[in-house]
Structure 1
């Protein structure tokens, strides 16, 4: 993406790349870009804008505790904002990506400090936020936060080195491990309209 007189512009090479990666045609990419820039004139979506988008997209869910975690999925360069290309890449992956691509993005939710691994402390924090916002714990039989953390971490940390790599995370989720799969599906659920 380029910039002309401080305004974001979509270059032809950007359009071509997004057509290839998104499954949209050229006109659709330009329409999405124009809508994005109409909402975000400087071409960047900040956390505040993202929060508003999440609350509109998920009026029936309390996703407020998950906002900062989901924001990391989009902000791939960790600059504190989401540009149009970052937004479109996630849009495509979450709608038409392979399971591998989807899990790579979901991994960023759990990797709180963006160091390429998930620690037990990071996993515990995410589970706490998922439980308080996305899983209603009115049911006394609902698994406890500690049980979920311990079980999921044990499923994922196959080499028992105290941290979960991207490959371990993907293997646990794709291997249908009970708690790993449940957590990944809860994150995916954020992107799916349940109507």
Structure 2
């Protein structure tokens, strides 16, 4: 995708056009920016944490950044390459509600077993709370509830069959049908 137009870079561009909602021109622009910021073509977890620290200066976004990094690192190699980066940007910027909710579900499902446990939900909300600052999170975003109370409330609402885990279908349905949960997804 750089100056050398090989068959593989052409097929990479074609694959990105097919798998994202970006035009060829947009892909090229994102690629140039990505290569400028990350000349190695990879983002390491520490680089990713630095990105979050620039945006969230009051709290500590490190733990949340690690959760997001694991989600973005689709092939599990410990780095985010351009394909992984652009795929996530496509969902984030132009994805449908269902695609965004599936991405959120995958961030919660840390052990990748296809279900969210209460412990996984608590870990992610703790990371979000650290990112925003615990007091601000409880006062502004959780309606005065403590983090534990909110996670209990949210988990009980989403776990429709009460089996102690939340499936992707339960997660999507719960978010679509509950205004208070939808509001939290706007964080």
TM-score by length of 1: 0.79
**8 Å CA contact retained: 1:127, 1:148:** no
Deviation at 1:156, TM superposition (A): 1.0
Moved more, 10-19 or 52-61: 52-61
- Structure holding more strand per residue: 1
Hey, what's the Cα distance between the residues in 2 that align with 1:96 and 1:58? Answer: 24
- Structure holding more helix per residue: 2
Alignment of 1:27-176 (within 5 A): 27-59=25-57, 62-134=60-132, 136-137=134-135, 139=139, 142-176=144-178
Deviation at 1:183, TM superposition (A): 4.0
Hey, what's the Cα distance between the residues in 2 that align with 1:10 and 1:136? Answer: 47
Alignment of 1:174-189 (within 5 A): 174-176=176-178, 178=180, 180-186=181-187
**Residue segments in structure 2 that go unaligned for 5+ positions in a row:** none
After superposition, the C-alpha distances for 1:67-111 in whole angstroms (9 at most, x for unaligned) are 111112311222221111110011011111000000111112211
SS, match of residue 116 in structure 2: strand
Hey, what's the Cα distance between the residues in 1 that align with 2:134 and 2:69? Answer: 22
Instruction: Report how many aligned residue pairs link the two structures.
Output: 179
Hey, what's the Cα distance between the residues in 1 that align with 2:58 and 2:22? Answer: 29
CA gap 1:129/1:123 in 2 versus in 1, 3 angstroms: same
SS, match of residue 166 in structure 2: strand
Deviation at 1:21, TM superposition (A): 3.9
Alpha carbon RMSD of aligned pairs, Å?
2.6
Hey, what's the Cα distance between the residues in 1 that align with 2:8 and 2:33? Answer: 12
Hey, what's the Cα distance between the residues in 1 that align with 2:86 and 2:8? Answer: 13
**8 Å CA contact retained: 2:56, 2:132:** no
SS, match of residue 161 in structure 1: coil
**Residue segments in structure 1 that go unaligned for 5+ positions in a row:** 187-195
SS, match of residue 117 in structure 1: coil
After superposition, the C-alpha distances for 1:91-143 in whole angstroms (9 at most, x for unaligned) are 01111100000011111221122222110111111222222322652549611
